[in-house]
Amino acid sequence: MKLHGKTIVITGASSGIGGEVARLARFHGAHVIGVDRNDPMVTLDGFVKMDLGDPAAIDAAISHLPAQIDGLVNAAGVPGTVDRDVVARVNYLGLRHLTDALVPRMPKGGSIVNFASILGVEWPKRLDAHKQLAATAGFAAGKAWLDANPVAQETCYQYFKEALIVWTKKRSVELFMQHDIRMNSVAPGPVFTPILGDFVSMLGQERVERDSALMKRPALADEVAGPVVFLCSDDARWVVGANLPVDGGVEAAYV
């Protein structure tokens, strides 16, 4: 891994997968700035508290981030058991707002990694809608589109992970061609984190039992961190617009 001397900003870095990404990135030489609404429970080189659901709060917090950033890992997110408006704001609109605001601080060769999910695998079924949302300019315009095209609470988590995969692919082409910045996403399956129980409640017992038969076990957070750090490194300098499953073969089992 070639992260020596790189400054990496990681959202959701206080615990869970984001915390493991921060730990591994620092091990490989990165200077890691964590971003989270909660105080960190891991060693970081810097920390900025931020509410990703509020664009004004994002803008205020950005002033405390470094002037040059080599990588951005968008690991923060909320489960579908919270209100759909919060899911939209944190998992998609806020993520997009922060990312676009930090692009001007990234040099050529910079990398962005977004956390999607194996639950976003059906994005082709709603591609037209996701492309329309991706085309909206900014947080407010995205929120207005969603107000006019409401998403069901029961499927909001899946929907916005689908939307994130599509936005990542669309935006990645622009960033690479115009700025030589790479953007990719990872799609973890179930992971042993404090919010795993929320996903069990969200999906329902029948879906959980069906998917459980397709996997050995949920992942450990450090098993997801390695692929993310790889995508941040120069070893992945020609990987652009990819959505990498990190799911122990769950997606493959559906083929």
Across the chain, what does the average pLDDT equal? 93
Closest-CA residue to 165 (of 139, 137, 134, 143): 134
Q: Quick check: 184 and 239 in contact, CB under 8 A?
A: yes
Mean pLDDT over 37-63 rounds to 96
Number of domains in the chain: 1
Residue 144 lies in a domain: yes
Residue 132 lies in a domain: yes
| Residue 157 annotated in active site | yes
According to the model, what pLDDT value does residue 215 have? 81
Residue 80 lies in a domain: yes
Residue 251 lies in a domain: no
Residue 205 lies in a domain: yes
Q: How far apart are CA 112 and CA 127, in angstroms?
A: 22
The backbone region for 179, taken as left when phi is positive above 0, alpha when psi lies in -120 to 50, beta otherwise, is alpha
Q: How far apart are CA 76 and CA 91, in angstroms?
A: 7
Which pLDDT tens digit goes with each residue over 110-163?
Answer: 999 999 999 999 999 999 999 999 999 999 999 999 999 999 999 999 999 999
Q: How far apart are CA 73 and CA 34, in angstroms?
A: 10
Global confidence as pTM: 0.93
pLDDT band at 213 (very low <50, low <70, confident <90, very high): confident
Which pLDDT tens digit goes with each residue over 17-35?
Answer: 999 999 999 999 999 999 9
pLDDT band at 196 (very low <50, low <70, confident <90, very high): low
Identify which has the larger pLDDT, 206 or 146: 146
Alpha helices in 40-121 (DSSP H): 55-62, 84-88, 94-102
Mean pLDDT over 226-247 rounds to 97
Which segments of 46-181 are extended strands (E)?
46-49, 71-74, 111-115
Q: Quick check: 208 and 215 in contact, CB under 8 A?
A: no
Which pLDDT tens digit goes with each residue over 70-87?
Answer: 999 999 999 999 999 999
Which pLDDT tens digit goes with each residue over 96-105?
Answer: 999 999 999 9
User: In whole angstroms, how far apart are CA 108 and each of 6, 29, 54, 131, 212?
Assistant: 12, 19, 29, 26, 42
Mean pLDDT over 165-177 rounds to 98
Residue 136 maps to which CATH number?
3.40.50.720
Q: How far apart are CA 73 and CA 228, in angstroms?
A: 8
Q: Which domain holds residue 103?
A: 7-244
pLDDT of residue 69 exceeding 90, the answer is yes
Residue 34 lies in a domain: yes
Q: With H, G, I as helix, E, B as strand and everything else as coil, classify residue 106.
A: coil
